[in-house]
């Protein structure tokens, strides 16, 4: 379908573009920016007056719960949530059941996702077989099957020799390694940040050193092996200095932060709110402020939703027994806009963290920008419209979010995937 998007404010961070301009789409691609190509006839015109026209958002951490955890969520429910959130590309961690450590499983997931014809799915393969940290996975075959990087999800490798070999192998072929820094021994049994709040509530703590010790090891091994490293979901202020030093030493390292860590701290646990049970834990107010500033000045490259839908029974247990995780696909854009407003950042820079910068990390050349010839993945939203976050508005099967009851800015009006309107909000 030929589509003409008119009267919108076009924001394309990859091309440093923030202007009033029309967008022209044909055959699933962008064929004109500001000016229609010769002979273009629109089958449909979308009036984007008062709206922002941006590249489809890219989420670097979204658990869709298939295969293996369909009782928590399904591909279909989470793809619907992604469309409602303006997200057109999703990187999927490997901690499914079975684990994404075989090419056949990766191909099946990609096939299932493609059949649903919504967001593009980019699997992150298991770094080791079964995420057990013992044998390396067949990385080359997994890349052929569709994996964009390799990770251990939330399961650390205990044997650092195995981790070193994995990085060395990945570096040889230029594969990306994505790691969440968490020392399993320092974090063992913990459910909240090791601070005053956890002490007062009698909750076992996870110290910031659990992140810092693991991060130091990862950066040292990356320096030794030349691996391309991406650190996922930073949570502590001290980690930022380690990453800065590593970059000065020539380590190729990027990092992201989960959207909820920009707005919440351990104080938000309140009276044992299980929606605030996440891994890594919500840390101190000082950590939250430091992460927020580091994202604003570019030391942190991107924002992810860390979308982890959990069924109600698992969330309604006592805090320390509840399952960690928060739903985030539909909140990625609102939480990004709220963070940007707090720092008085231009929309161009804010959207870069969930479009062009995320695309670079995941190696997505076709998405994250609105250049002529690019895939026509587009998010059209109203930056000034506020919406109340409640269970009924969340399309995700997981209703677990600490932001329930709050009004947040940014309402997605249209989501286009390869030029097809996959979501249209009721006005």
**Catalytic residue set:** 306
Say which DSSP state 375 is in.
Answer: B
The C-alpha atoms of residue 341 and residue 357 are separated, in whole angstroms, by 19
Q: Are 227 and 171 in contact (CB under 8 A)?
A: yes
305: left (phi over 0), alpha (psi -120 to 50) or beta: alpha
- Distances in Å between the Cα of 281 and the Cα atoms of 131, 183, 235, 291 are 22, 13, 7, 14
Length of the chain equals 427
- Distances in Å between the Cα of 75 and the Cα atoms of 57, 70, 157, 408, 417 are 18, 8, 28, 26, 16
Residue 95 structure tokens:
């901690």
Sign of torsion, CA 376 75 414 263?
A: negative
DSSP 3-state assignment of 48? coil
The C-alpha atoms of residue 170 and residue 164 are separated, in whole angstroms, by 10
From the list 192, 194, 180, 171, the residue with the least C-alpha distance to 151 is 180
From the list 184, 149, 182, 183, the residue with the least C-alpha distance to 166 is 149
Say which DSSP state 43 is in.
Answer: S
- Beta strands 149-151 and 176-179: pairing type? parallel
Q: Which residues contact 182 (CB under 8 A, 6 or more apart)?
A: 154, 156, 206, 210, 211, 214, 279, 280
Is the preceding peptide bond at 394 cis, omega within 30 degrees of 0?
A: no
One DSSP character per residue, 243-299 reads: HHHHHHTT--EEEEEEGGGGT--GGGGTTT-GGG--SSPP--HHHHHHHHHHHHTTS
Instruction: Return the ∠ at Cα 208 (arms to 203 and 213), rounded to 5°.
Output: 130
């Amino acid at each position: 379908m030929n589509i003409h998007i008119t009267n919108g404010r076009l924001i394309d961070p990859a091309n440093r573009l923030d202007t009033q301009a029309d967008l022209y789409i044909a055959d699933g691609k962008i064929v004109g920016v500001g000016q229609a190509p010769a002979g273009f006839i629109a089958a449909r015109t979308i009036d984007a007056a008062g709206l922002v026209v941006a590249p489809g958002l890219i989420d670097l951490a979204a658990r869709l719960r298939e295969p293996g955890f369909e009782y928590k969520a399904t591909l279909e429910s989470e793809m619907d949530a992604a469309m409602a959130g303006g997200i057109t590309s999703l990187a999927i961690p490997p901690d499914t059941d079975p684990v994404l450590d075989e090419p056949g499983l990766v191909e099946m997931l990609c096939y299932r996702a493609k059949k649903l014809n919504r967001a593009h799915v980019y699997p992150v393969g298991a770094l080791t077989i079964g995420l057990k940290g013992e044998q390396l996975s067949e990385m080359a075959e997994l890349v052929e099957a569709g994996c964009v990087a390799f990770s251990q999800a939330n399961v650390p490798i205990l044997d650092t020799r195995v981790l070193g070999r994995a990085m060395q192998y990945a570096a040889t072929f230029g594969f990306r390694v994505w790691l969440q820094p968490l020392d399993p021994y320092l974090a063992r049994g913990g459910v909240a940040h090791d601070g005053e709040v956890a002490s007062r509530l009698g909750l076992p703590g996870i110290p910031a050193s659990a992140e810092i010790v693991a991060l130091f090891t990862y950066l040292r091994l990356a320096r030794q092996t030349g691996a391309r490293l991406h650190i996922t979901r930073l949570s502590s202020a001290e980690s930022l200095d380690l990453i800065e030093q590593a970059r000065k030493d020539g380590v190729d390292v990027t990092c992201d932060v989960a959207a909820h860590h920009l707005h919440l701290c351990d104080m938000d646990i309140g009276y044992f709110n299980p929606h605030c049970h996440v891994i890594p834990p919500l840390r101190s107010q000082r950590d939250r402020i430091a992460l927020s500033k580091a994202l604003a000045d570019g030391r942190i490259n991107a924002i992810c939703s860390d979308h982890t839908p959990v069924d109600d029974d698992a969330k309604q247990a006592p805090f320390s027994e509840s399952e960690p995780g928060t739903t985030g696909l539909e909140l990625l854009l609102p939480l990004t806009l709220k963070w940007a407003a707090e720092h008085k950042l231009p929309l161009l820079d804010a959207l870069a963290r969930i479009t062009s910068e995320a695309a670079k990390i995941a190696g997505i050349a076709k998405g994250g920008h609105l250049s002529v010839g690019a895939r026509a993945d587009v998010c059209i939203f109203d930056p000034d419209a506020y919406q109340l976050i409640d269970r009924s508005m969340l399309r995700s099967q997981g209703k677990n979010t600490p932001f329930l009851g709050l009004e947040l800015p940014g309402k997605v009006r249209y989501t286009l995937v390869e030029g097809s309107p996959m979501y249209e909000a009721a006005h």
